[in-house]
Structures are given as structure tokens and as C-alpha cells.
Amino acid sequence: MKNLKKIIFITVAMLATTVFWGFRYSTSVNAAEISAGVSQDFTVNVPQNGQFNLIFEYLPQSTFLNPEFSLQINGEFQTFPLFQNFSQASTIVNPPNSTTQRLLAPILWEYQTFEFLRNRAGHELLPQPSIIDGWHTAFIYDADFLDISPIIVNLNSGDNVLTITGLSGDFAVREIRAAAPQA
């Protein structure tokens, strides 16, 4: 344990896959402040119609609860299948779906120390984590955590208007990119 330099964990363990593999298409915008009830439009341009993962650069400004938001693409919410990368998904007759009406901008946490104190019974006590400050780049995930894969959305060739509306918590968004779905 002592040879570990840093343990980073996300509020929900399955989001540990937020490290992303290369993106193809991107559009930058100035940072937009998002809070409950506030909407902001972003434009993402792709060369052809297709399914894409979305990657965004964001700055959580809440100190406890993960900010949640909805996402409309060209004025509509989209539905996407869950378990899209799950090896047994083909055996599910009617796989469940989720929607872009409730998504997440997770707060990232880290331990400041690796000295785990012990209680009277000799069990290790976890140190208090602290929020990792700064901008984060992550795939966009469903807030219900029913799937470990990032959401897949349908985008049209050319410009697509993505409208983010805050549901809870505060955060800023600096960039949204579209990437070919992970294999």
C-alpha cells in the first residue's frame, strides 16, 4: 500500500473508465456556467451521420453532490440502449433503455495520505478524501449507473446543437467532443 503514489476514486466506482481513448471530432467553446434550470447550447460538427460517444471538459463547482444535467440533441432528448458493450447483451430479448434526460458530471476525489490508521480492533480506517480541483475530461454517463459504458448518441452530418440544462449542482463546461464509440 505504501508504494502507491495516489489513489483516485470517483464517487461511483464504475466511472473509473473516464479515461478516454482518442477522439476524432471536436468543437471548442468558452466555458459556460451551468446550474439548476440554466441551459447552454454547444455546437458539435461531425463529417457524417452516425453514433458517437460524447466527451466533455468540465469543472465541478459543487462540493458534495455530483452535478446532474439533461442533454438535448438538435432539440430532442435521445434514448440509448443500456449494456451496449456487455458481452451477454445479445442474449437480452428486450434490453432496457435510458435517456439523455439525466446525466452526470462526477466530482473526483483523492486521498491525501496513505497512512491508514487502525481502530481498537486493528481494522484500517480510511483517511478523509478531498476533491480534485481543476478541469476534468470524461465521457458522458447515465446518472443511474445502470451501464459501465458511456452514452451513445445519434448525430447528424454537419453541425449538431447540444443543449445542456442543469438539474442539480453547479459546474462549468468548456468543451464537448464527439468520438467514435468504444469497441
- Average pLDDT over the chain reads 77
Q: Contact at 8 Å (CB) between 47 and 25? A: yes
Please name the residue that has the C-alpha cell 466511472. 15
Condensed to tens digits (0 to 9), the pLDDT of residues 52-70 reads: 999 999 999 888 888 999 9
pLDDT band of 83, cuts 50, 70, 90: low
SS3 call for 15: helix
Question: One-letter amino acid identity for 139?
Answer: F
Please name the residue that has the C-alpha cell 475530461. 137
Condensed to tens digits (0 to 9), the pLDDT of residues 8-31 reads: 333 222 232 233 333 333 334 478
Of 57 and 83, more confident? 57
Q: Which residues pair with 39 in a beta bridge?
A: 165
Longest dimension (CA), the chain: 63
pLDDT of residue 158 exceeding 90: yes
Instruction: Please tell me the distance from the alpha carbon of residue 94 to that of residue 91, in angstroms, as a whole number.
Output: 9
Instruction: Please tell me the distance from the alpha carbon of residue 28 to that of residue 26, in angstroms, as a whole number.
Output: 7
- What's the mean pLDDT in 99-104? 86
Q: Which three cell numbers stand for residue 179?
A: 468520438
Q: Contact at 8 Å (CB) between 80 and 153? A: yes
Q: What is the share, in percent, of the chain residues with pLDDT greater than 70?
A: 74
pLDDT band of 181, cuts 50, 70, 90: confident
Condensed to tens digits (0 to 9), the pLDDT of residues 104-131 reads: 888 888 888 888 899 999 999 888 888 8
Instruction: Please tell me the distance from the alpha carbon of residue 115 to that of residue 75, in angstroms, as a whole number.
Output: 51
